[in-house]
Amino acid sequence: MRRLVAALVGVALVGAVLGQTEDVPRMPTWDDEIANGLLPYRQLTAKDFAVDDNAHPGTGFWIKAFIDPRYRCYMNSANGLIYLYIEKWVVFSGFSQKESSRKSALKDMNAELPYAQAILDINELYARQLAALQPGDLPSGHGATLIAAQADLASRIRVFCGETYERVQSESKELAAATKSGQNKKKVRELAMAIRKRLNAVPTPSPASVSPTPSPTASVTH
């Protein structure tokens, strides 16, 4: 029986446009994420893995981590084109408790937690690095119309964030290979400590504290 398969939650970047006289759109908070079944990063417990013998056949347990970037941008126009620039950038990250599970045959989930936590810590490490970026470090979009500019920016953000997702998956696969999918407990402890040390060196973002601020022109949220 395989120990673990980890996955990232895909994020659809969609938005709404408001005129200059309308209220600035509200940025999402953790209340919104939790309502969708996505929980903040934390130290995992066995209770985070409900028994589900039908989910993910062939796995002892499954943890679904996520990185959910959200942004608000402002619009400018020049030379017949519309330009969108990000002014607020927050990244939610953690795990989907409703999509994380274990098999009933796996009696001692506590023994598997160090490996599951290491996977989650890898995800959180890259999520925090992504969250630490400033608006000026992020892509901008442009197009002949607002819709075209929105699509261009969303596409660029997907590609930009996709590089982070790939690094998470790559390092998770390396961890699995080095520990025989968590079966080598000594190696798990060794690598988990190194991963946690890297994670602790990265500041923890606070996306729930973000509040709307006026934009130079129109506002777009994603």
pLDDT in tens, 71-100: 999 999 888 999 999 999 999 999 999 999
pTM of the model: 0.84
Q: Could you tell me if 60 and 53 are in contact, meaning their C-beta atoms sit under 8 angstroms apart?
A: no
For residue 46, CA distances in Å to 103, 145, 185 come to 12, 50, 17
pLDDT in tens, 125-136: 999 999 999 999
Beta strand segments in 52-199, E: 59-78, 81-96, 101-102, 141-143
| Position 20 pLDDT exceeds 90 | no
Number of residues written out for the chain: 222
pLDDT in tens, 142-200: 999 999 999 999 999 999 999 999 999 999 999 999 999 999 999 999 999 999 999 99
Mean pLDDT of 95-122: 95
Residues paired with residue 84 on neighbouring β-strands, in sequence order: 75, 141
Looking at residue 58, its pLDDT comes to 85
Mean pLDDT of 34-43: 94
Give me 98's structure tokens: 């409703």
| Cα 105 to Cα 107: distance, rounded to the nearest angstrom | 6
H or E element that contains 100? none
Q: Could you tell me if 15 and 71 are in contact, meaning their C-beta atoms sit under 8 angstroms apart?
A: no
Looking at residue 206, its pLDDT comes to 65
Range of the domain at 52: 2-221
| Position 207 pLDDT exceeds 90 | no
For the chain, the C-alpha Rg in angstroms (whole number) is 20
Looking at residue 203, its pLDDT comes to 85
- pLDDT tier, 204 (very low <50, low <70, confident <90, very high otherwise): confident
Domain count, the chain: 1
Looking at residue 157, its pLDDT comes to 95
Greater confidence (221 vs 114) lies with 114
Maximum Cα–Cα distance across the chain: 65
